[in-house]
């Protein structure tokens, strides 16, 4: 939800900002802009549309412009036009701000600023921040502001931040200080990269790693001021703080396309490697145990827990639902999966002995974060299953397990999903072993889990066949995805993948629910994707396939390798290697990801930047 990048150093800022914005474009892509400090002025260039549009508007970079800020937007307040694009200048033209987040009290502040003769040019909440800083910076008489201008700029930012209600990750520059960059964070991510006499502030590490791997992760209500003399960090209450220097853990290579046409395809194909990284060092095949270092100290509490509540959104919620089934089946613990956006606004019952698990790729999803706060306030121990190291959810949980799959850039989540399921499976097996799963069964599941990466390779090898299925079906505007048991959440995930990137209307359902209403939708030739692998409900789902075929539906069936009987029920057949049904989702989801990918490409869509979406949803 918006990407921000800012640079202060010895090099020309403009190309660094543009490269950084391209890395962050997955966070939002409806408008973009840069602001450069140029000889005592701030030059703003911004436009609606993608970064490529902005790039065409830029002059040759000037080597003397060494301070600048940039932004790529996912609109919240105000339509995605040029006026609403960031950076926003204050009414004096001295202060420029880029912002990711939402200022909830912007209307009140705007009314007050207008009463002070501050002029507004946009419909955004961000312009309020710029004008408030500008007002405080220029109207200091009688206030407790420092007398020297430099400190006054910092003072104005700090005091403005104290008036804001809502969330922000922001970078601010002032025309009077061509050597000073200020960043601040509350509720939206912000990282300060420390290079050789240079600073890069960005929403995530992908915009920094090209310049340095040394970084500081700001926490909420913290700000940083950087200049050629160095930098300092403090809270917005003006208390100096020391921040630990962290190493950015992924290489530039991890965020390049490396010959793939899209990040989504790269990330689908990376899944064998990603799962190996996720499982690596965690499966103790010799002793039949699972080692999850991040939650090591909590096993006693988890083992004694009476109930687990999983909180997540979207694809992570689908992984959570599979986790619910796994925890019930293998660990025999009462588990519920909640939409974080609903849980946070209810009055949930959290008794003693409840463990809450937050599942999130980005670790920044606002609803999931708020659900965690809600659960913690009510005394629950909260564990995180998160991909992005150091993200807000990773920091706000008591303990957790990282996915370790490297950056996921495609807006449609793929490798994070399979890794979320893998982590939940590890948790369920180990918890089961510590409760009442026999050692023999635990060992069996661990061995099967260790074979999943190579089995995914076999599914990926069918990509060209799946493309042909997409060619034959992608013109249809309505689809059904149906599965039962562990493959019911996979049906939901398959439908979501198709919807979000190919803009085809798709509904995912537990297959048996179809006859309670949705069966009325089936018309001649309507594609119905069935996940009908060999499992305890195999015979039942065959019955459901027959019901669809009897009404003229075209069946795309994901079946187990070697299942000859199912061929007669499938207009199109995709096979996956056989694994225990509890672990099947990690294989059965792969063809659905590939199908959605090819359908979207064939329909001419920008797979990595689907309309109206952004990668991490940091608004409610």
| Residue number with CB closer to ligand F6R (15 or 294) | 294
Measured between alpha carbons, how far is 292 from 400 in angstroms, rounded to an integer?
Answer: 9
Indicate the residue whose CB is closest to ligand F6R: 314
| Residue number with CB closer to ligand F6R (282 or 318) | 318
Measured between alpha carbons, how far is 577 from 17 in angstroms, rounded to an integer?
Answer: 46
SS3 assignment, position 45: strand
CB of 273 to ligand F6R, least distance (A): 20
**Contact residues for ligand F6R (CB under 6 A)?**
313-316, 360-362, 365, 368, 412-413, 496, 500, 616-617
CB of 512 to ligand F6R, least distance (A): 25
| Residue number with CB closer to ligand F6R (365 or 374) | 365
Q: Which of 185, 186, 609, 615 is catalytic?
A: 615
CB of 314 to ligand F6R, least distance (A): 2
CB of 265 to ligand F6R, least distance (A): 14
Q: Which of 2, 118, 278, 313 is catalytic?
A: 2
With the C-alpha atoms ordered 456, 614, 312, 301, is the resulting torsion angle positive or negative?
Answer: positive
Q: Concatenated DSSP letters for 178-243?
A: TTEEEEEEEBS--EEEE-SS-EEEESSGGGTTTT-SEEEEPPTTEEEEEETTEEEEEETTS-EE--
Task: Calculate the alpha carbon distances from 421 to 80, 108, 121, 222, 360 in Å.
Answer: 36, 44, 47, 34, 12
CB of 417 to ligand F6R, least distance (A): 8
| Residue number with CB closer to ligand F6R (233 or 365) | 365
Measured between alpha carbons, how far is 176 from 138 in angstroms, rounded to an integer?
Answer: 12
| Residue number with CB closer to ligand F6R (487 or 616) | 616
Do the Cβ atoms of 25 and 77 come closer than 8 Å? no
Which secondary structure element, helix H or strand E, spans residue 88, and what is its range? strand 88-89
Measured between alpha carbons, how far is 620 from 617 in angstroms, rounded to an integer?
Answer: 8
For 262-296, b/e burial (b = at least 16 CB within 10 A) is bbbbbbbbbbbebbbbbbeebbeeeebbbebebbe
Task: Calculate the alpha carbon distances from 410 to 190, 588, 609 in Å.
Answer: 20, 20, 7
Q: Concatenated DSSP letters for 499-522?
A: HHHH--EEEEEEGGGGGGTGGGG-
615 is catalytic: yes
Measured between alpha carbons, how far is 112 from 128 in angstroms, rounded to an integer?
Answer: 10
CB of 390 to ligand F6R, least distance (A): 14
Look up residue 91 and give its two tokens.
């009414």
CB of 535 to ligand F6R, least distance (A): 25
| Residue number with CB closer to ligand F6R (14 or 100) | 100
Look up residue 505 and give its two tokens.
């209307």
Q: What is the rounded radius of gyration, in angstroms, for the C-alpha atoms of the chain?
A: 26
CB of 420 to ligand F6R, least distance (A): 8
| Residue number with CB closer to ligand F6R (68 or 407) | 407
SS3 assignment, position 164: coil
| Residue number with CB closer to ligand F6R (354 or 360) | 360
Return the active site residues.
2, 615
């Amino acid at each position: 939800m918006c990407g921000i990048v800012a640079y202060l150093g010895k090099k020309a800022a403009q190309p660094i900002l543009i490269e950084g914005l391209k890395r962050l474009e997955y966070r939002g892509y409806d408008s973009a802009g840069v602001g450069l400090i140029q000889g005592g002025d701030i030059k703003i260039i911004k436009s609606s549309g993608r970064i490529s549009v902005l790039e065409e508007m830029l002059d040759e970079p000037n080597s003397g412009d060494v301070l600048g800020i940039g932004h790529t937007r996912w609109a919240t307040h105000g339509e995605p036009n040029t006026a609403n694009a960031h950076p926003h200048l204050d009414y004096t033209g001295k202060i420029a701000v880029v912002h990711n987040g939402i200022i909830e009290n912007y209307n009140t502040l705007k009314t007050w600023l207008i009463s002070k003769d501050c002029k507004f040019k946009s419909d955004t909440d961000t312009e309020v921040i710029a004008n408030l800083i500008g007002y405080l910076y220029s109207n200091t008489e009688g206030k407790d502001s420092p007398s020297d201008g430099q400190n006054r700029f910092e003072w104005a930012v700090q005091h403005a931040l104290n008036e804001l209600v809502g969330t922000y990750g922001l970078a601010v520059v002032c025309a009077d200080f061509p050597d000073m960059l200020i960043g601040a964070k509350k509720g939206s991510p912000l990282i300060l990269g420390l290079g050789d006499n240079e600073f890069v502030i960005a929403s995530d590490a992908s915009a920094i790693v090209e310049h340095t791997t040394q970084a500081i992760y700001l926490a909420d209500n913290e700000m940083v001021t950087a200049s050629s003399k160095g930098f300092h960090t403090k809270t917005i209450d003006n208390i100096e703080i020391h921040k630990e220097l962290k190493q950015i853990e992924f290489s530039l290579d991890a965020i390049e396309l490396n010959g793939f046409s899209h990040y989504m395809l790269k990330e689908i194909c990376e899944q064998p490697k990603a799962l190996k990284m996720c499982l690596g060092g965690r499966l103790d095949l010799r002793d039949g145990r699972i080692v999850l270092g991040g939650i090591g100290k909590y096993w006693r509490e988890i083992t004694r827990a009476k109930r687990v509540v999983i909180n997540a959104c979207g694809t992570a919620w689908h992984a959570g639902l599979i986790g619910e089934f796994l925890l019930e089946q293998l660990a025999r613990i009462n588990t519920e999966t909640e939409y974080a956006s609903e849980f946070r606004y209810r009055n949930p019952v959290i008794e003693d002995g409840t463990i809450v698990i937050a599942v999130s790729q980005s670790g920044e999803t606002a609803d999931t974060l708020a659900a965690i706060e809600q659960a913690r306030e009510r005394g629950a121990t909260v564990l995180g299953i998160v991909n992005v190291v150091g993200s807000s959810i990773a920091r706000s949980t008591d303990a957790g397990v990282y996915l370790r799959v490297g950056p996921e850039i495609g807006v449609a989540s793929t490798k994070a999903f399979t890794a979320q399921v893998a982590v939940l499976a590890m948790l369920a097996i180990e918890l089961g072993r510590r409760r009442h799963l026999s050692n023999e069964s635990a060992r069996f599941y661990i061995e099967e889990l260790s074979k999943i990466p190579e089995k995914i390779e076999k599914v990926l090898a069918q990509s060209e066949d799946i493309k042909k299925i997409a060619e034959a079906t992608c013109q249809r505007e309505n689809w059904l995805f149906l599965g039962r048991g562990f493959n019911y959440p996979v049906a939901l995930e398959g439908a979501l993948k198709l919807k979000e990137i190919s803009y085809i209307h798709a509904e995912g359902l537990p297959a048996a629910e179809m006859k309670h209403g949705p069966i009325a939708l089936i018309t001649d030739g309507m594609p119905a994707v069935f996940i009908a692998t060999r499992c305890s409900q195999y015979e039942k789902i065959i019955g459901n396939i027959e019901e669809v075929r009897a009404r003229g539906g075209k069946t795309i069936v994901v079946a187990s390798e070697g299942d000859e009987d199912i061929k007669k029920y499938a207009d199109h057949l995709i096979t996956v290697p056989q694994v225990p049904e509890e672990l099947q989702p990690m294989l059965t989801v792969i063809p659905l990801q590939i199908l959605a990918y090819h359908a979207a490409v064939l329909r001419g869509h920008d797979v990595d930047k689907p309309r109206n979406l952004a990668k991490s949803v940091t608004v409610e």
